[in-house]
Chains A and B, each alone.
Chain A
Amino acid sequence: MSHILLRHREIPDINQLSVYKKNGGFAAFKNAVMKMKPNEVTDVVKNSGLRGRGGAGFPTGMKWSFIDNKNWPHYVVANADESEPGTFKDREIMEGNPFQFLEGLAIGCYAVGANAAYVYLRGEFWELGSSLDEKIAEMEEAGFLGDKLFGTEYSLRIYTHLGAGAYICGEETALLESLEGKRGQPRVRPPFPPAVGLYGKPTIINNVETFTNVPMIMANGAEWHKSIGTTDSPGVKIFSLSGRVRKPGNYELPLGTTFRELIYTHGGGVQDSRKVKAIMPAGASSSLILVDDDKILDTPMDYASVRTLKADLGSASIIVVDDTVSMDWLVNKTVHFFKHESCGKCTPCREGTYWMSRISERIHDGAATRADVDLLLNVAKQMQGKCLCALGEFSTMAVVSGIERFRKDFDNAVKA
């Protein structure tokens, strides 16, 4: 099957404007602006069943329809913060197929009546930021951005904005704070960004991959999109495959593809032909799927099916863990990540990640007791359901699932 998102893999130089245009680029945007009403665009996206690719899987068209039309101006922000350990798909899109992403973003802007959009890139994507700036300039030159587009009254400008090293800025309200030049700490919700967002104005925030789906949906129709993937999760998804596999990388596959196909058919199987011990389907924020039965690998990767394994698909960053890895090491790793990235705003996350890191370190150093393992589990549970944003919750996922599903690894690591 040819790619829908990672089209650069088939079409060389599609990151050149001329090549992108030759392959149908910007026809959808032009058509939308010239021939469609904004809410008609939203309706197509709604009907397509597209769900956000940033992690939460929220229906995209529905989000767009929430924009507050009593308060202007509107903004659109592309979430290109991509900081979840194990996720590296947005970067490939923006490097390989940037115009499709930018076109999707432009269509989104038109749908919600925004005349300005920001692409919030994690600061580490410094070079990517400059290259996107060039692409945006080319689009302006070619008349795809600027004032009175295609002879209509619609104007649009897109700007890039670099973060500076903070995972939390992927959370949409922290991202907005950061974009406003502040410390990237999440805001209280509600109000949600479609009501009160950037500079207090209605704002739509979507993931890069989400936007990149839009031009093809506009070109081929909602039904076409629904025909791919599953009913619950239509369309394709880029699975970022990492960990102990032979061929890590991004794989664009229909939602509902099985873990087995991804890991064995595409990823070339596990390194050194070892056994899969666990899978983290949503990066470090994931619960650890216990792969004690080979059949588990036949679970389809869509939002609903992954939930039956007591985990979430999230951004579909599939980290494969084999039987050489001890979970006390892995949990120590994720806990440290979250301790480092906790913004510090809310008590349970700030104090809990710190406390967990002290215990998990002790366990990993062999200086702990079984009671400490219980305490770690208990502290994680005490955090659950109490944090201001999802980061705090994420930090407990590997801990709780790790201890509950791989208790032996922990018991082996402690003294008594």
Chain B
Amino acid sequence: MSLAQKYSKEVKQILSKYPPEGKRSAMMPLLFLAQREEGYITKSAMQDIAQMLDVTETEVAGVVGFYTLYHEEKAGKYRIQVCTDLPCALRGAEKFMDDLCGNLGIKVGETTSDGVVTVEAVTCLAACDKAPMFQTQGPEGIKYHENMTVDKTVELINSLKNVAEASK
């Protein structure tokens, strides 16, 4: 099923935000829509979007490739994106990251063996006063988790695992 068929209501609503000459503006919201379920954007979704917006598939791919929140490859169901940028690093983010990875037994960029979470390092998320912090990117969108500890994070991951299990 094409994106337009599957999410007809959302697609219509997205397109209604922009004037006809600015139809291409719907690109980014449509890409988020396309990424919602699988956590990455498939070739066929890019083709759908290209067709809807009168652009080429290559142009869609160019946009996908520019932004870090779009993914073309499958990863864990949830991406845990820890801010390790300067302000957070001054407040212990790097140590938090090391400890978290140690606890999970993976390296930055890797996915847990059950395929539920991938841990990534990202640049500043505008929560520098609440480090250590990270965001989770998953089927429900993006959520912030601030003033985190490894324990709290492991707890969160366990609950995400339960959600993932339940949705199977």
Which residues from chain A sit less than 8 Å from chain B, CB to CB? 82-88, 90-91, 116, 122-127, 130, 159, 161-167, 178-184, 198-199, 240-244, 248-250, 283-284, 317, 319, 321, 325, 330, 333-334, 337, 340-341, 343
A355 and B115 CA atoms in complex are apart in Å by 36
B106-157, CB < 8 A from A: 122-130, 135, 141-144
Whether, in the assembled complex, B86 has its beta carbon less than 8 Å from a beta carbon of chain A, the answer is: yes
Instruction: Say yes or no: B126 contacts A91, CB within 8 Å.
Output: yes
Bound: A178/B28 CA distance, A: 8
A85 touches B90 (CB 8 A): no
Interface of A is mostly: mixed
Residues of B within 8 A of A181 (CB): 22, 24-28, 53, 55, 63
CB-CB nearest in chain B for A398 = B86
Residues of B within 8 A of A166 (CB): 66-68
Min Cβ gap A138→B in Å is 17
Contact present for A250 and B129 (CB under 8 Å): yes
Out of B19, B68, B124, B144, name the residue touching A164 (CB < 8 Å).
B68
Question: How many residues of B are counted as interface, with CB atoms below 8 angstroms from the partner's CB atoms?
Answer: 42
Q: Which residues of B contact A (CB under 8 A)?
A: 17-19, 21-22, 24-29, 31-32, 53, 55, 62-63, 66-70, 85-87, 89-91, 122-130, 135, 141-144
Q: What residue in chain A is nearest B64 (Cβ atoms)?
A: A164
Min CB distance A93 to B, Å, is 12
B24 adjacent to A164 (CB under 8 Å): no
Distance (whole angstroms) from the CB of A376 to the closest CB of chain B: 17
Judge whether B124 and A337 touch: CB under 8 Å.
yes
Q: A85 touches which one: B69, B87, B141 (CB < 8 A)?
A: B87
CA distance A88 to B131 in the complex (A): 12
Question: Which residues of A are found within 8 Å of B63, using beta-carbon distances?
Answer: 181-183
Known: A162-B32, A183-B63, A337-B85. A88 touches B126 (CB 8 A): yes
Q: A161-B17, A164-B31, A167-B123 are in contact. Are A243 and B25 (CB under 8 A)?
A: no
B126 touches A87 (CB 8 A): yes
B17 smallest CB distance to A (angstroms): 5
Contact present for B87 and A319 (CB under 8 Å): yes
Q: Assess the A241–B129 pair: CB atoms within 8 A.
A: yes
What are 19 A-B pairs with beta-carbon distances under 8 A?
A85-B86, A85-B87, A86-B128, A88-B127, A123-B69, A124-B142, A126-B143, A127-B144, A162-B32, A164-B31, A164-B70, A167-B124, A180-B24, A181-B28, A199-B19, A244-B91, A250-B129, A337-B85, A337-B124
A321 and B123 alpha carbons, distance in the complex (Å): 19
Closest Cβ neighbor of A320 among chain B residues? B90
With the chains together, A130 CA to B29 CA distance in Å? 13
- Closest CB of chain B to A318's CB: distance in Å? 10
Apart from the given pairs A85-B85, A161-B28, A242-B87, 16 other A-B contacts in the complex at a CB distance below 8 Å = A86-B124, A87-B124, A126-B142, A130-B141, A164-B69, A165-B68, A181-B22, A182-B63, A242-B91, A242-B128, A249-B129, A284-B86, A333-B85, A333-B89, A334-B86, A337-B123
Of all chain A residues, which has the CB nearest B66?
Answer: A183
Query: Is there an interface contact between A248 and B91, defined as CB atoms closer than 8 Å?
Result: yes
A324 to chain B, nearest CB (A): 9
